[in-house]
């Protein structure tokens, strides 16, 4: 049973007016917009906002069970090569900075695609949640553009790098999870985006130390938005799942191989997690979690 039918506990004028606004949008237009992101291979189509009278039938389909990858043209095609992100202390080297910016830009692009996928995959999710996804998707498009502008300032583009579909590899398990929407919220919002709360601070500081203040500023913008994204996932998981404690909600929803050990960087920052409204016991749980491999090594 998919956990999408329960009523949200959200109230308040602000959310109501937002919901009304989203409600007024043509449902087909949201679907068409999402489908365009998934079925167009070019970067511009994936990063463009919805246009009036966008049609849903593009003559293409997408495997919603998550067995396929979104369309990518040759310039931004996926690669099976797994490269390591440069270390913060390596960023005095402009090539390392560029490699790092490409990695973060690609994460944003995959977040755009995954949110588009979620909008099509769960048409009956609560309107307020779909509204959040729609707005967060716009943030992710903005973040991707900001990183790409900095990459361009280094004389390179996304196509110059290996683009690993790591986020997308999680989609089949999310899609097939009996926890439905809750699996998606735990995977994207409370694992990958939660980890980014640490990474954006670490790399924002590293870029600042390297003297690249413009890039550092981009990391700060993304960090601020990411707190809202994590907060949204946390609120909706609470509203839609049955467990009382956030730790249990997360543990019962997060799809393997994702886990709390992936929801953080080596340097753990509690403050942004508190700002996102995560429960203290959940923050401690993530802080103290170790991957299976790590546990075996010790």
Q: Which residues bind Fe ion (CB under 5 A)?
A: 108, 140, 143, 193, 226, 229
CA count, 13 A, side-chain hemisphere, 250: 28
Q: Residue 47 and residue 138: Cα distance in Å, rounded?
A: 9
Kindly state the smallest distance separating residue 293's Cβ from Fe ion, in Å. 27
- Residue with smaller CB distance to Fe ion, 107 or 293: 107
Q: Where are the alpha helices (DSSP H) in 154-275?
A: 171-176, 181-184, 193-210, 213-240, 246-253, 270-275
C-alpha torsion sign, points 230, 235, 237, 243: positive
Residues 6+ apart with CB under 8 A from 148: 43, 105, 157, 158
- Residue with smaller CB distance to Fe ion, 31 or 229: 229
Q: Residue 13 and residue 143: Cα distance in Å, rounded?
A: 28
Across-strand partners of 163? Answer: 78
Which residue, 74, 84, 34, 81, is CA-closest to 54?
34
- Residue with smaller CB distance to Fe ion, 193 or 246: 193
Q: Is 78 helix (H, G, I), strand (E, B) or coil?
A: strand
Per-residue DSSP letter, 278: -
Kindly state the smallest distance separating residue 187's Cβ from Fe ion, in Å. 13
- Residue with smaller CB distance to Fe ion, 125 or 190: 190
- Residue with smaller CB distance to Fe ion, 17 or 276: 276
- Residue with smaller CB distance to Fe ion, 58 or 228: 228
Q: Residue 240 and residue 55: Cα distance in Å, rounded?
A: 31
- Residue with smaller CB distance to Fe ion, 140 or 290: 140
Kindly state the smallest distance separating residue 188's Cβ from Fe ion, in Å. 8
The DSSP line for 30-62 is HHHHHHHHHH--SHHHHHPPP-TT--S--S---
CA-based end-to-end distance of the chain? 39
- Residue with smaller CB distance to Fe ion, 74 or 100: 100
């Amino acid at each position: 049973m998919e956990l999408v039918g329960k009523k949200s506990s959200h109230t308040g004028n602000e959310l109501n007016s937002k919901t009304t606004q989203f409600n007024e949008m043509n449902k087909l237009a949201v679907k068409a917009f999402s489908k365009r992101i998934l079925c167009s291979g070019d970067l511009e189509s994936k990063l463009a906002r919805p246009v009036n009278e966008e049609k849903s039938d593009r003559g293409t389909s997408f495997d919603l069970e998550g067995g396929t990858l979104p369309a990518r043209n040759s310039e931004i095609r996926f690669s099976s090569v797994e490269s390591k992100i440069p270390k913060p202390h390596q960023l005095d080297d402009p090539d390392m900075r560029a490699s790092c910016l490409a990695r973060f830009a690609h994460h944003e692009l995959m977040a755009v695609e995954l949110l588009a996928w979620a909008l099509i995959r769960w048409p009956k999710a609560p309107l307020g949640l779909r509204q959040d996804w729609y707005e967060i998707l716009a943030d992710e498009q903005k973040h991707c553009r900001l990183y790409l502008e900095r990459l361009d300032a280094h004389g390179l583009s996304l196509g110059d790098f290996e683009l690993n579909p790591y986020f997308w590899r999680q989609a089949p398990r999310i899609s097939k999870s009996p926890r439905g929407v809750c699996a998606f919220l735990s995977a994207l919002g409370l694992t990958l985006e939660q980890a980014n709360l640490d990474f954006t601070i670490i790399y924002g500081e590293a870029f600042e130390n390297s003297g690249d203040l413009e890039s550092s500023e981009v990391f700060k913008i993304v960090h601020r938005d990411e707190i809202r994204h994590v907060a949204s996932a946390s609120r909706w998981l609470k509203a839609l799942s049955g467990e009382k404690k956030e730790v249990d909600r997360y543990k019962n929803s997060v799809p393997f191989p994702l886990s709390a050990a992936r929801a953080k960087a080596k340097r753990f920052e509690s403050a942004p997690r508190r700002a996102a409204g995560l429960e203290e016991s959940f923050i401690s749980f993530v802080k103290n979690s170790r991957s299976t491999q790590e546990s075996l090594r010790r």
